Amino acid sequence: MKRNFPLLLVFVFGILGIIPFILPHPMVQNTDEFLRNNLLKILAAFALILGLGSLLRVHFDKIRRKGQNWEYSWVLIGTFVVTSIIGLFGGVSGTGILPTRLGSFAFDIWTIYFNIEVPLGAAMFALLSFFMASAAYRAFRARSTEATLLLASAFVVMLGVLPLGNEISPHLPSFAQWIMDVPNVAGQRGILFGVALGMLATALKIILGIERSWLGGGGE
Amino acid sequence: MTFIILASIFALVPPTAVRAYDTPDDRGGAITIEWQLSADDAQLQRYEIYRSENGIDYEKIGLIGRGRNQIEDDTEDNKQYIYKVAAVVDSVRAFSEPSSTVMSSAQWLNRKKINIIIAVIVFGGLILFFIQHARRGRELFVREIAGLHAIDDAVGRATEMGRPILYCPGIGYIEDIATIASLNILGEVAKKCGQYETKLINPHFDPIVYTVAREIVKESYTNVGRPDAFDPDSVYYVTDSQFAYAAAVDGIMLRERPATNFLVGWFRAESLILAETGASTGAIQIAGTDQVSQLPFFVTACDYTLIGEELYAASAYISREPLLLGAIKGEDWGKVIIGAVLIAGSIIGLLTVFPIMSVFD
């Protein structure tokens, strides 16, 4: 029962997930919307509580064990508490019960999101350019025939999108575009065919209960 | 005489052949209206669409620019409507004849998707055939996938070095197949971690994926007879913010110094940030995703990369379960069919292009 019930649930909800794709009738679509918008949200809410519980447990445990950089765990817990209070009582955009303004600074989730999370995320994203440079250096070292081909095509594409490329030869931009449109797209489509078939096979295997790794493996 | 000249200037030719019909393959609540463009279309400002429920009182329900001859109207199902279309210049309107009576209703089958259904049945049938084939005990050959072959070595290396294994399933949600495939691989990796008593670190982006992954890892440890080795805090939720998650996983890589990093699942821009940080720590990195745009980053920065479908084949490859291997065989035959169709299509295309061989013109 412990194994069969989850398998039955997956089968039923897997089929319920496929049917709305081909049956547009409101009876089917409304059921699908209820499952996705209502039921999944309730499940997500419970999962979020479990998730946040796990996050706090890990960091309290780290503080207790005095693990490496344990002091930062206090930062996490502190900001978690402050953000939660502002979120619960300050509202989304200053409509809560907190005295939500100090001068021009509003204590609400939008303020925190736009003034803290967005800049921090942007800072991480900005790191990407440096990582890209180091990855490009590694990728473009001509150690083998394939790597040399990669280097040559990258060189052509880079030159082709620069004004300098047009100065060297007016055919260079169109050749660079050809590399992007033909060999590049051909390779991508080849991968996508495999991905589509792999998705279909994985979905079938899970819905029919053949793939049980998500149950911890085996059908035993 | 003057009256006749003015009348001929302002007499617009109305649109003709107005046809209203229930929008096909939808959930109801929509009627499509089509018409033949007015002969004066080039001079028009717009077309206005009028609707009536009794054929007498019309109300304007929409407008559309000249040169266009179709519009969709939101309606109430099982209620009769009649439509007229007016060609408009300034305040002059030339009304068409009314359409015939029409009412909208919901359809049960979306016929536009029949081709997809047939393809799914064909490819699904192939997969099920080979699964059945494997069930009968036939030996199936599956080529070696380097990234998956390296899993044993990677776990063994971590065990010898006394360092943990980091398994990062990316930033996908539970409805993403790549995430599901990643969880399947996580189950197999967790089994090996249980067998070798190697510490597993599994940080998560989505709380639902976290709860599922936690149960998978726990079950895997139980299945290899080591429920005691399962550390509940080894699988944990971090954040659902993309770059905060990337920062957290980077931090784990730099603090914990895992011997092996698995970056397997659904990734976006954070893929290179994770892979490059992992490479800088000297860990063996096994990556896999079906996101074509992220694959070059993984190929560059990781030791092994599962490309596209290899991600889905991974669980079968590791577990060596015949039924799962059968599905891979089915996928391969699916690719053979697609390849054959592409070649046939290309040949037909070529025969059409060259005039001398205009067989299919």
DSSP states along B306-350: EETHHHHHHHHHHH--HHHHHHHHHHHHHHHHHHHHHHHHHHHHH
pLDDT of residue B108: 93
ipTM of the complex: 0.85
A24, A205, A216 member nearest B106 (Cβ): A24
Quick one: average pLDDT of B10-16? 85
- Spatial contact of A219 and A3, defined as CB atoms under 8 Å apart: yes
What's the mean pLDDT when you consider all of chain B? 89
**Strand arrangement of the beta sheet that strand B304-307 belongs to:** B235-237, B200-204, B165-170, B260-266, B284-289, B304-307
Residues of B in contact with A121 (CB under 8 A): 241-244
Give Cα A195 distance to the centre of its chain: 18
CATH for the stretch B2-95: 2.60.40.10
How far is the alpha carbon of B359 from chain A, nearest alpha carbon, in Å?
Answer: 26
3-state helix, strand, coil in chain B (%, to 5): 50, 20, 30
**Position A92: which residue type?**
V
With CA atoms as reference, the chain B residue closest to A41 would be: B208
Whether the pLDDT of residue A90 is over 50: the answer is yes
How far is the alpha carbon of B110 from chain A, nearest alpha carbon, in Å?
Answer: 5
pLDDT of residue A68: 83
Residues of B in contact with A61 (CB under 8 A): 233
Residue A5's Cβ-count burial label (10 Å; 0-12, 13-18, 19+) is exposed
CB pair distance less than 8 Å for B327 and A205: yes
Looking only at the bridges linking them, the beta strands covering B284-289 and B304-307 are: parallel
B212, B276, B338 member nearest A134 (Cβ): B276
A44, A55, A210 member nearest B323 (Cβ): A210
pLDDT per position as a tens digit, B51-98: 999 989 999 999 999 999 999 999 999 999 999 999 999 989 999 999
B246, B290, B319 member nearest A124 (Cβ): B246
CA atoms within a 13 Å half-sphere pointing along the CA-CB vector of A201: 34
Residue with tokens 């060189």: A155
d(CA B233, CA A76): 17
Tokens of B333: 């035959």
CATH match for B140-320 among 1.20.58, 1.10.287, 3.30.420, 3.40.50: 3.40.50
pLDDT of residue B5: 47
**Position B77: which residue type?**
D
Q: Which of residues 127-166 of A touch B (CB under 8 A)?
A: 127-128, 131-132, 134-136, 138-139
pLDDT of residue B1: 46
Q: Which of residues 173-212 of A touch B (CB under 8 A)?
A: 188, 191-195, 197-206, 208, 210-211
Q: What angle (nearest 5°) sits at the alpha carbon of residue A200, between those of residues A196 and A204?
A: 170
Residue A54 sits at the chain B interface (C-beta within 8 Å): yes
pLDDT-derived band at B4 (thresholds 50, 70, 90) equals: very low
CB pair distance less than 8 Å for A199 and B244: no
CB pair distance less than 8 Å for B108 and A48: no
How far is the alpha carbon of B109 from chain A, nearest alpha carbon, in Å?
Answer: 5
Question: Where do the domains of chain B lie?
Answer: 2-95, 140-320
Whether the pLDDT of residue A41 is over 50: the answer is yes
User: Residue B192: which H helix or E strand, with range?
Assistant: helix B177-196
Residue A39 sits at the chain B interface (C-beta within 8 Å): no
d(CA B215, CA B224): 14
Quick one: average pLDDT of B36-45? 94
User: Residue A41: which H helix or E strand, with range?
Assistant: helix A40-65
What's the mean pLDDT when you consider all of chain A? 86
Quick one: average pLDDT of A158-179? 92
- Computed from CA positions of residues B111, B116, B120, B122, in that sequence, does the dihedral angle turn out positive or negative? positive
Looking only at the bridges linking them, the beta strands covering B16-22 and B30-36 are: antiparallel
- Spatial contact of A11 and A205, defined as CB atoms under 8 Å apart: no
Top-confidence residue, A29 or A90: A29
With CA atoms as reference, the chain A residue closest to B177 would be: A199
pLDDT-derived band at A220 (thresholds 50, 70, 90) equals: very low
pLDDT of residue B3: 45
How far is the alpha carbon of B18 from chain A, nearest alpha carbon, in Å?
Answer: 27
Residue A215 sits at the chain B interface (C-beta within 8 Å): yes
d(CA B46, CA B129): 57
Tokens of B354: 């060259």
Whether the pLDDT of residue B7 is over 70: the answer is no
pLDDT of residue B326: 83
- Helices B207-223 and B177-196 cross at an angle (nearest 10°) of 40
pLDDT per position as a tens digit, A112-148: 888 889 999 999 999 999 998 888 888 777 678 888 8
d(CA A57, CA A73): 11
Whether the pLDDT of residue A187 is over 70: the answer is yes
pLDDT per position as a tens digit, B194-236: 999 999 999 999 999 999 999 999 999 998 999 999 998 899 9
